[in-house]
Structure 1
Amino acid sequence: MGRPNFSGGRRAGHYLVLGFVLVAFGVGAGKVARRPPPAQFRPTGIAPAGQFAPADNVAAANGAHPLLRSDFVSHRKFVRNHAASLVEMRDGKIRVFWYAGTDEGTQDVTIQTAVFDPRAGRWSPERMVASRETTQRALFRYVKKLGNPVAGRASDGSLWLFYVTVSLGGWAGSSITAITSRDDGETWSQARRIVTAPFLNVSTLVKGPSFSYADGTMGLPVSEEFLGKFGELLRLDGSGTVIDKVRLSSGRSCLQPVAMIRDPNRALVLMRYAGAERPRRVISTATDSAGLNWTPPAKSPLSNSDAALAGLVLPDGRILVALNDSESGRQTLSLVVSSDGGASWKTACKVEDQSGAESQGLDDAHYSAAIERLARATNDAVTDAESYSKSVKQVMVSKQGYSFEFSYPSIIRTSRGDFHLVYTWNEAFIKHVQFSQAWLDQWLK
């Protein structure tokens, strides 16, 4: 019997791939031809008139006196709580979103939310916003798992929640889903997919918060993980349609860009470094042309352990960033400040620091005692500290041993002038820290 001739099949496959490429190129070329006119940035904190409630007269809230307080947002035990995102509500309260489930990527993961009342100083009970089942019913497609929620405020005042959905494979098969609310998160629209690619529409993930352009469109930093790891900046119209897309980096080492809008033309973007080359540093790129041109991505002075970061621009132009400022591990979470647009940084304080604890060779008893001590330090009203240590050990120790992790920060400055920081606390809880400008300044003196 003669050898089968596969050449015809190979040629057909090549033609099929070429056809996909040409279709994608044609769609991309059409988008470039229809690229919207450029628009300036709308700096953070400049909101439409009447969008937020006026600041109250509490001295601690407006930064007249040092203020620092902390608490746990999430209270469900023995589940992983991760990837929190903050947004200020119109009445001055703070809403946070995060995902919770048995583990990252499991089918029971849901998007949760809770609300902080600054006047009362306490959090509401958490409730579910989206699940795998509700999302797949709205999208009319199978959803395997959910991930990172990111909250943002559109120019019309509506609240947007972007989150990651995966139908096939791992996170490289992700796409972005969005829901919107006209009543600050009490009720939500049906979920819709954000189409970021001409075909397949996979491999796009979110972590950094959205921002606004002066013309009312929205900017959304994203990262791609298919055949590479690089940052992009999407521009969305009021319906959530991608009307422009800009590549911020290339290669296989940049993830989760965070955009800090300095003024109508200048912005700094910082990205998580996922590469192996030492020194491991946060990757930065900047623009002084409202995003028309970006500087080549380069390593910044900030250390990075392949971990997410968060940041914002202060009223005086300084840049405040929360990050794990280490080349390995996430045992330390710091606040750092730059006065020169990101060229140099000064550590303000370490919000969490357990960098020396693991080197002591903790056993189960000492580790449990350490977690219980940290839980009570978060809020002295905690009466069941033992349940916190049991939860942490079930969620984290089985995978990482007796370690500590404070990661995936989200930070905002409110219309009252105070700051709110949330982050993953030892993979098992979401922790909240509120502080004033005066408290921050005393660390910088």
Structure 2
Amino acid sequence: MKLLIISVSFLALISCNNKNFKLPKVIPLDESSVITQEFVYDIDKAPTPECHASTIAVCNDVVVASWFGGTKEKNKDVGIWIARKAGTSWSTPIEIANGIQEDGTRYPCWNPVLFQPKNSSLYLFYKIGPSPKEWWGLYIKSDDTGKTWSKPVKLADGILGPIKNQPIQLSNGDILSPSSEESLSGDWTIHVERSRDSAKTWTKSKKLNTPSTFAAIQPTILNYDQGKLQLLSRTKNDIITEIWSEDYGETWGNMEATSLPNPNSGIDGVTLKDGRQLLVYNPTKENWGNRVPLSLAISTNGKKWKRVIDLEPLRKNTDKENEEYSYPTIIQSENGNVHIVYTWNRRAIKHIVLDPTKL
């Protein structure tokens, strides 16, 4: 199912303390950057009433998408769903994991994250638990591009796995997983988890932020080579924050504010093969309204960001409180195309493919 896309461009000059934040002027953009725009499944045939937190991978030209779905987020019937696109159309979504325990107790599932280490199986990390304050991490693996999956394996105590965004694999083979914790006391903190043996075992960094200064979760990792890494995070502070490392993530600097607004909603970024950085985010503040619009920004240095396309604009004559375009995942496939998936009004998962050379 292909849909007509209207692409627009923004240049945002934002004050982090401006409580009267207004959206910047819309500037049209050439539609030629968009290769495909589609829903992963027909909204009228949705497998569950609600869905959220999608993730995507491309394995041997097969596109694999996953998300959590059920009657409503946090409900016990929420499981992990998946669909594959091996040709021109998506397969019928199927549930591949749920939160049923050995004693029959059932908990909701949360935030699947697809990731394939080099020369390895396709991993799907996810969480189970009554809430993000009490969940635990698991993974399943596939050796046939998502057709079949292994039995769930619980991660070691203290290891949650990637919370929302995908790990990255460094030039030395180490895998860094962006993670975070929401404590029972209400504190939000981020950390990274490292594997030196292709995702078999993990170690955990110290907490990388002071929650009383910046309450941050769900980081995404950008890679500038030569050991230089950047963590961008969702916060409760109306802005996206950043932390830098100069030694492949062994140590990190202090968390600081960027110029990018954030309405306490998930973000994701990717480092392109040409060295540019892409970020998908909601360019608003929490007191402005809901998670709309959803936009794409580009940077060459991680400091100055240019907003170049609006994936989901705020439509005229609509109630922004009833719209939500959120929780994006963005990757670059081997052929150079950029794939983005995100929540579409909690009713469907939307998939967009872009040609980054035309951005």
TM-score interval for Structure 1 and Structure 2 normalised by the shorter chain: 0.7 to 0.9
Give the alignment of 1:296-445 within 5 angstroms: 296-328=254-286, 329-340=290-301, 342-354=302-314, 356-358=316-318, 403-440=322-359
**Are 1:194 and 2:155 matched, yes or no?**
yes
Aligned counterpart, 1:99: 68
SS of the counterpart of 1:149?
A: strand
Q: Distance in 2 between matches of 1:283 and 1:402?
A: 25
Amino acid at match of 1:319: Q
**Are 1:235 and 2:194 matched, yes or no?**
yes
Q: Which has the larger radius of gyration?
A: 1
**Are 1:108 and 2:77 matched, yes or no?**
yes
Offset of 1:356 from its aligned partner? 5.0
Q: Against the structure 1 CA distance between its residues 217 and 321, is the aligned structure 2 distance closer, same or farther, given a 3 Å change threshold?
A: same
Amino acid at match of 1:188: W
What does the per-residue CA deviation read over 1:102-131, in whole Å, with 9 as the maximum and x for residues that have no partner?
0001121111111124xx432222112111
Give the conservation status (yes or no) of the 8 Å contact 2:84–2:146.
no
**Are 1:74 and 2:41 matched, yes or no?**
yes
**Are 1:261 and 2:223 matched, yes or no?**
yes
Q: Distance in 1 between matches of 2:110 and 2:343?
A: 14
Aligned counterpart, 2:18: none
Give the conservation status (yes or no) of the 8 Å contact 1:67–1:438.
no
Q: Distance in 1 between matches of 2:194 and 2:131?
A: 26
Give the conservation status (yes or no) of the 8 Å contact 1:331–1:353.
yes
Give the conservation status (yes or no) of the 8 Å contact 1:174–1:205.
no
Structure 2 residue runs without a partner (length 5+): 1-31
Aligned counterpart, 2:207: 247
Percent identity of equivalent pairs:
26
SS of the counterpart of 1:171?
A: coil
Question: Normalized per residue, which structure has more strand?
Answer: 2
Offset of 1:187 from its aligned partner? 2.0
What does the per-residue CA deviation read over 1:260-287, in whole Å, with 9 as the maximum and x for residues that have no partner?
1221401111000124xxxx21011111
Q: Distance in 2 between matches of 1:298 and 1:402?
A: 30
Structure 1 residue runs without a partner (length 5+): 1-64, 363-400, 441-445
TM-score by length of 1: 0.67
Q: Distance in 2 between matches of 1:159 and 1:224?
A: 25
Question: Normalized per residue, which structure has more helix?
Answer: 1
Give the conservation status (yes or no) of the 8 Å contact 1:334–1:352.
yes
SS of the counterpart of 2:133?
A: helix
Offset of 1:419 from its aligned partner? 1.1
**Are 1:286 and 2:250 matched, yes or no?**
no
Q: Against the structure 1 CA distance between its residues 196 and 262, is the aligned structure 2 distance closer, same or farther, given a 3 Å change threshold?
A: farther
**Are 1:165 and 2:125 matched, yes or no?**
no
Give the conservation status (yes or no) of the 8 Å contact 2:292–2:313.
yes
Aligned counterpart, 1:368: none
Give the conservation status (yes or no) of the 8 Å contact 2:80–2:98.
yes
Aligned counterpart, 1:128: 95
Q: Distance in 2 between matches of 1:214 and 1:314?
A: 15
What does the per-residue CA deviation read over 1:285-311, in whole Å, with 9 as the maximum and x for residues that have no partner?
111111122120011011100000011
Say what the alpha-carbon RMSD is for the aligned residues: 2.2
Q: Against the structure 1 CA distance between its residues 331 and 67, is the aligned structure 2 distance closer, same or farther, given a 3 Å change threshold?
A: closer
Aligned counterpart, 1:391: none
Q: Distance in 2 between matches of 1:157 and 1:205?
A: 17
Amino acid at match of 1:338: S
